[in-house]
Amino acid sequence: MEIDSTTRCVVALDEVVQTLEQGRVRRLLSGKPSDKMILECVGCGHLQATEGSCQYCKHSLMVADCAQEVLIRKAVLTDAEIAVPPLEALNARRGVAALLRF
């Protein structure tokens, strides 16, 4: 896959979660594991990086899980490639990014 200026990518954790859920991620770039958590809705399975009740079904029971694990699991489910980039820059940032299909 070519990476050029037209390649869409997202770097914020909440955007990565959102685009993964939409099946738009072509390649997940996972840096060093962070201690960030992602909440998974018990009601509908929706993932979100922000605290509070589910933004989709308003279910109040959310299970927190290691962000890195959740993202990789979701990437596998949506046929996204998973890459560990040798980019110190990425590690120094939020530790995760995604290149999008569209």
Would the CA dihedral through 18, 100, 29, 80 be positive or negative?
Answer: positive
Q: How far is the CB of 65 from Zn ion (least distance, A)?
A: 15
Interaction between residue 43 and Zn ion (CB under 5 A): yes
- How is residue 8 annotated by DSSP? -
Q: Which of 12, 37, 56, 65 binds Zn ion (CB under 5 A)?
A: 56
Q: Which is nearer to Zn ion, 20 or 99 (CB)?
A: 20
Q: For 48-58, b where at least 16 C-beta lie within 10 A, e where not — what string? A: bbeeeebeeee
Residue 87 as a binder of Zn ion (CB under 5 A): the answer is no
The residue (of 17 and 29) whose beta carbon lies closer to Zn ion is 17
Phi, psi (rounded to 5 degrees) for 32: -65, 145
**80 Cβ partners below 8 Å, 6+ apart?**
20, 25, 26, 27, 28, 98
Based on the shown chain and the rule CB under 5 A, indicate whether residue 61 belongs to the binding site for Zn ion.
Answer: no
Choosing from 32, 57, 61, 87, the residue that interacts with Zn ion (CB under 5 A) is: 57
Q: Does residue 77 belong to the site contacting Zn ion (CB under 5 A)?
A: no
Interface residues toward Zn ion, by CB under 5 A = 41, 43-44, 46, 54, 56-57, 59
